[in-house]
Amino acid sequence: MGDRGKFIVIEGIEGASKGSCIQFLKENLSGYRIEFTREPGGTRIGEKIRKLLLSDGEDGLKYLISDEKSLTAVEICLFCCARYPHCKRIRRYQARGINVVSDRFDSSTLAYQIMGRRRGDLLWFFWALNEIAVDGIEPDLVVLLDLEPKIGLSRRKSAGGELSRFDKEELEFHNRVRRSFLDFKGSNWVVVDASKPEAEVQKEVLGIVKRCMEGK
Ligand code: TYD
């Protein structure tokens, strides 16, 4: 039995270039035993839940639930529902010595649903469901791509593509999301300044991820 694989999470606000950074990691870590995954998603059922959560159309949650507290509570349920099988999968990879890199994890629920939506009254609900969902899994490393939301949102808009209903939230919401990441970061977090040129950010993240996988 070899060493346990590392679990690495990339977090950040909208437009912090997580997507291109993860693409760069995929292209430059081919020599490692590594799997890339994302939240919400990462399993067949998780990808179905993702559609329901992110859709801004009439099939989306927003059209089914009109009051904000209920909507946020249902979102927390669904993010945790998708997270449960995802964590089982991550655990299986780790046990086989395979490293896992996830685009977002549970700090996003704290940042978006609790702090972004100012729903401190649902914090207990998040802790209870999330504890069941993660089932003891903890990231070995969280890389936070940190950026002013104003810059992130304008990057996201100029990149084109479909905006999720979270992308469309007001600037203040995104400022609270950023604050949450910075205020609640743990000792296993590394903050990277994502306002630097993209190539520089990608190289820095690659180095951080490699060091973690090599146990340095
Ligand atoms: P995605 O298209 O992957 O956006 P991004 O590239 O910004 O990650 O959509 C994921 C969206 O879901 C993103 O807007 C953040 C949101 N989200 C939450 O609100 N809570 C969560 O727990 C997670 C994992 C994501």
- Mean pLDDT, to the nearest integer, of 145-170? 90
Give me the chain's average pLDDT, please.
95
Amino acid 62: pLDDT: 79
Q: Is residue 187 scored above 90 in pLDDT?
A: yes
Query: What percentage of the chain has pLDDT greater than the value 90?
Result: 86
One-letter amino acid at 11 equals E
Distance 39 CA to ligand 1 centre (A): 7
3-state secondary structure of 117: coil
The answer to which of 157-161, 168-172, 212-216 has the lowest mean pLDDT is 157-161
In the reported structure, the alpha carbon of residue 213 is separated from the centroid of ligand 1 by a whole-number distance in angstroms of 25
| pTM reported for the whole predicted model | 0.96
Nearest atom in ligand 1 to the alpha carbon of residue 79 is 22
Per-residue b or e along 169-183, where b marks 16 or more CB atoms closer than 10 Å to that residue's CB: beeebbbbbbebbee
> 107 CB less than 6 Å from ligand 1?
no
- Residue bearing tokens 């067949």: 44
Q: Is-contact 213 99, C-beta < 8 A?
A: yes
Calculate mean pLDDT across residues 134-158: 95
Question: In the structure, what pLDDT confidence band is assigned to residue 2 with cuts at 50, 70 and 90?
Answer: low
Which pLDDT tens digit goes with each residue over 24-44? 999 999 999 999 999 999 999
Domains and CATH numbers, the chain: 7-213 (3.40.50.300)
Nearest-angstrom CA–CA distance, 96 and 82:
22
Cα(14) to centroid(ligand 1), Å: 8
Nearest in space to 22 (alpha carbons), one of 43, 36, 41, 42? 36
Length of the chain: 216
Q: How far is CA 173 from CA 122, 150, 179, 192, 198, in A?
A: 17, 11, 10, 21, 25
